[in-house]
Amino acid sequence: MTAVIKQIQKSYSTVMKGETMSFNLDAWFNAIRDKHIDVDGALGAQCHDVFLSYLLALGGVKNDGHAPRDGSTHYVWTDFPNHRPGLTRIFTKHAGANIQRGDVVFYSHYPYAGTHVAVAQTGVRSDGTYVGIDQNPNTVQSRPLPTSGIVGVLRPKQHILGNTPSKPSPKNNPTDPQEEDEMKTAGFFYRRGGDLICIITNPVSGLFHEYAANDGVYNSKIATAFGTGDFPEISVSHARKLEEDMAKVREGKR
């Protein structure tokens, strides 16, 4: 690990001592709730953007969430893992018969809107529905969703807070506090002219997400939701070095 990576102090995830790293699904949802989000900048706020937001929050890379073929969102599941092998760092592929909290649920023929995707907040309930997070045409909401038309789910490898954790393997259960710190996702910022440029990065996946955000309210909500605390200021050269190191992580060179 470089000195840059060792400076990372805060995480999107909640560290459970003696258990696996746990992702706070409800905190992520609350950060985007009642908003129209357009993560990929294509076609406005779509259901697929909720999946991309979730992928980034879990430490993934936005481009790995690309929908192949004609761009229908369910092809992410159908063509997993061949289309974007990087998704295998974050998810495993399952049939849709046993939905769990935190699953990304893909529909090949959603009853009301064709292909669709949502993030499950619950398993299937007695009435045959589950509570899911989605958008389009509504803002990001949590609501009962049907199970008909589901083609399958992608399940996060990271433990979802609120689920019963499975027994972790030793390599995914760090006990050294420094090792835990080095696995975390963190936020930084630097100044470029009159702009404040923010960075979200993760030393395990190689995530490097950079965006201009002079809105302190937005950053405060991100910090509250994902436990990053304040975004510490770094230099431009420091940011470029961090970007270089994360590219090497994604290429498997570190």
Phi then psi for 209, rounded to 5 degrees? -120, 125
Q: Where are the alpha helices (DSSP H) in the chain?
A: 3-6, 25-32, 47-57, 75-78, 177-182, 216-226, 236-250
In this structure, what DSSP letter does residue 167 have?
Answer: P
Over residues 180-214, the pLDDT tens digits come to: 444 466 777 888 887 888 887 777 777 788 877 76
Predicted structure pTM score: 0.62
Query: Could you give the CA distance from residue 173 to residue 125 in angstroms, rounded to a whole number?
Result: 32
- Beta-sheet pairing, 208-212 with 195-201: antiparallel
Half-sphere exposure of 152 (CA within 13 A, CB side): 14
Q: Strand 141-145 and strand 130-134: pairing?
A: antiparallel
Output the pLDDT for position 239. Answer: 85
Counting as low any pLDDT under 70, the low residues of the chain are 1-21, 112-113, 165-185, 214-231, 252-254
Please name every residue paired with 23 in a beta bridge, in sequence order, or none if there are none.
Answer: 13, 160
pLDDT score, position 45 = 93
Distance, CA of 98 to CA of 83 (rounded, Å): 24
- Residue 37 amino acid letter: I
State residue 169's pLDDT score: 47
**Nearest to 50, CA basis, from 81, 73, 72, 83:** 73
